A = this chain, B = another copy of it.
Amino acid sequence: MFATFAEATTVTAHGEGRYGGEIASGWDIGGNANGGYLLALATRALADAVGRPPLSVTAHYLAPGLPGPVEIDVDVIRAGRRMATVSGRLRSGGNDVLAVLGTFADQAVGEGSAIDGAPPRLPPIEQCVRMSPPVDSGFHHRVRGWVRPEDAGFKDGRASGKPEMAGWFELPDQAPIDEFGLLMVADAFAPVVFNHGGFPVGWSPTLELTVHVRGRPEPGPLRCRFFSQFIEHGLFDEQGEIWDSAGRLVAQSRQLALVPRG
């Protein structure tokens, strides 16, 4: 009845940089489509226009995305031999929902690596807490996320006190998660400020989200960690790391969002 991630992010080229698609029903949190899902949907069109996967994509959120048809206007700014830079706008019912700017290329462009980081230590999935939203919402039925027990108490007034969320993520039926799936995962967990404890658990609008795709995940559940360092004057950063089952960092994210007002 509800579309899978691949179905729910399908776009159709109409020529001259115009694409059509649909914000699928059931991908919402409290009625509004998940921000990472919207980013994935828009980015499909940009990637299609240049035939390359996303490497670094930034979205600025303009209005909530409601289920229904959308138009995505794509502008190929530059298409080089290895990389292409593309901007786009996702509109719904005549309203701008999302503005996107990205560079598209394979993630491996050269040699040399040095990693200062590691996947988060997580209890086994069966000891984690399945994510479910504080309000009626379809999104958490479309995806499968589990957070560490200490990160799940905010719903019962037991915030961990640390603005952090870490846990596991997969799609139903272990559907493969590609570069577009990673864009969604970057915004799939509850806002980390819920675990700060000093703010109400409510809508926390993302202003800006940037995702660097660093690899295509190996099959298996992803290990994710999101955290904030700087909550100030009503705004917070949320930094994210997404690691695949082989222990490799596959995406880095960072967003700027508004703390909930209740």
Q: Do most interface residues of chain A lie in helix, strand or loop, or is the interface mixed?
A: strand
Partner of A261, one of B83, B85, B110: B110
Integer count of this chain's copies in the complex: 2
In the complex the two chains form, is B229's CB within 8 Å of A83's CB? no
The answer to whether B114 touches A210 (Cβ under 8 A) is: no
Q: Is A132 an interface position by the 8 A CB rule? A: no
Given contacts A56-B256, A228-B116, contact A235 B214 (CB under 8 A): yes
Kindly state the interface size class of chain A when it binds its partner.
35 or more
CB contacts under 8 Å to B, within A14-66, are 55-56, 58, 60, 62-63
**Is A252 an interface residue, CB under 8 A from the partner?**
yes
- Whether the pair A210, B55 counts as a contact (CB closer than 8 A) is no
Given the known interface contacts A78-B96, A99-B77, A254-B254, the answer about A231 and B62 at a Cβ–Cβ threshold of 8 Å is no
> Which B residues touch A148, using CB under 8 A?
none
**A interface residue numbers (CB < 8 A to B):** 55-56, 58, 60, 62-63, 77-78, 83, 85, 87, 89, 96, 99-103, 107-117, 163, 196, 198-199, 207-208, 210, 212, 214-215, 228-235, 237, 249, 252, 254, 256, 258-259, 261
